[in-house]
Chains A and B, each alone.
Chain A
């Protein structure tokens, strides 16, 4: 195993290519003049780490909200995910479980695509359930009598 290289702040000038190559391979460690340790990472990896960390916090908040009796919850119990208040307890538990799994995959794959899509889908779902009429239609069972045939808009027959 090769020894971990710690560059100095002046190496950012003198060995710029070497430092950035190390960063592109994963991480470049730099010791500033006052001794503070710094790291240089690919932006994509930093964004994954930032999102994973943020989502761990958010899911803890959501779990605490779920643990409260539904009647005692207020929107701010959900932190910045106030739209979660439109999910019932069962869906909220599924949301938390699915997001935890997706956060883990995002971290290990270094890729936020699936996590972002999952969050978008849940956000859309919550928005649809926010309206009582849509909620009733989307959560209700199927009865053909509830539906009517429609023609192509603008066609007269």
Chain B
């Protein structure tokens, strides 16, 4: 893969490719779903898992280029803390759904502002 093939704000890249640029957003997963996150490549395929990661690590607030995204309604969709987005629902495959929020100016425990994506829930039940 050449350096020019990766566009941080572009719609998509070749599945399974490796990004050259550093991800803009730090990606966190709720502990309850850490194990499910580890099994993501085998459940939905490595390419789909990487596409999801690349999407949230660079442009979590934009519609996904390949997969469908939406916003959860009601209390599940509300920002979990000031500065966070509403909950985005990303359909990673026919059998996978991921719910996340992002905060472009998150102040972490160390007090340094940085963009963060929090994966709140993963649903790998088939629909």
Say yes or no for B41: interface residue by CB 8 A criterion: yes
Say yes or no for A12: interface residue by CB 8 A criterion: no
Dominant SS among interface residues on chain A: helix
Contacting A142 at CB < 8 Å: which of B40, B50, B81?
A: B81
Known contacts A125-B77, A150-B37, A142 near B118 by CB under 8 Å: yes
CB-CB nearest in chain A for B40:
A153
Known contacts A121-B71, A125-B72, A147 near B81 by CB under 8 Å: no
CB-CB nearest in chain A for B23:
A152
Say yes or no for B18: interface residue by CB 8 A criterion: yes
Say yes or no for A137: interface residue by CB 8 A criterion: yes
Residues of chain B lying within 8 A (CB to CB) of residue A136: 32
Q: How far is the CB of A91 from chain B (nearest CB, A)?
A: 4
The 0/1 profile, CB within 8 Å of B marked 1, for residues 116-137 of chain A is 0110111011011101011011
How many residue pairs bridge A and B at CB < 8 Å? 116
Dominant SS among interface residues on chain B: mixed
Residues of chain A lying within 8 A (CB to CB) of residue B120: 137-138
A152→B19 contact, CB < 8 A: yes
Residues of chain B lying within 8 A (CB to CB) of residue A153: 40-41, 46, 49-50, 53
A150 to B117, CA, bound (A): 11
Q: How far is the CB of A154 from chain B (nearest CB, A)?
A: 5
B123→A141 contact, CB < 8 A: no
Say yes or no for A50: interface residue by CB 8 A criterion: no
Say yes or no for A67: interface residue by CB 8 A criterion: no
Q: How far is the CB of A29 from chain B (nearest CB, A)?
A: 41
8 A Cβ contacts from B14-36 to A: 16, 18-19, 23, 26-34
Say yes or no for A55: interface residue by CB 8 A criterion: no
User: Would you mind naming 12 contact pairs between A and B with Cβ atoms under 8 Å apart?
Assistant: A88-B75, A122-B73, A125-B72, A125-B73, A128-B72, A128-B97, A139-B75, A140-B80, A142-B80, A147-B29, A149-B27, A154-B46
On B, residues with C-beta under 8 Å from A are 16, 18-19, 23, 26-34, 37, 40-41, 46, 49-50, 53-54, 57, 70-77, 80-81, 84, 87, 89, 97, 99, 108-109, 118-121, 123, 125, 127
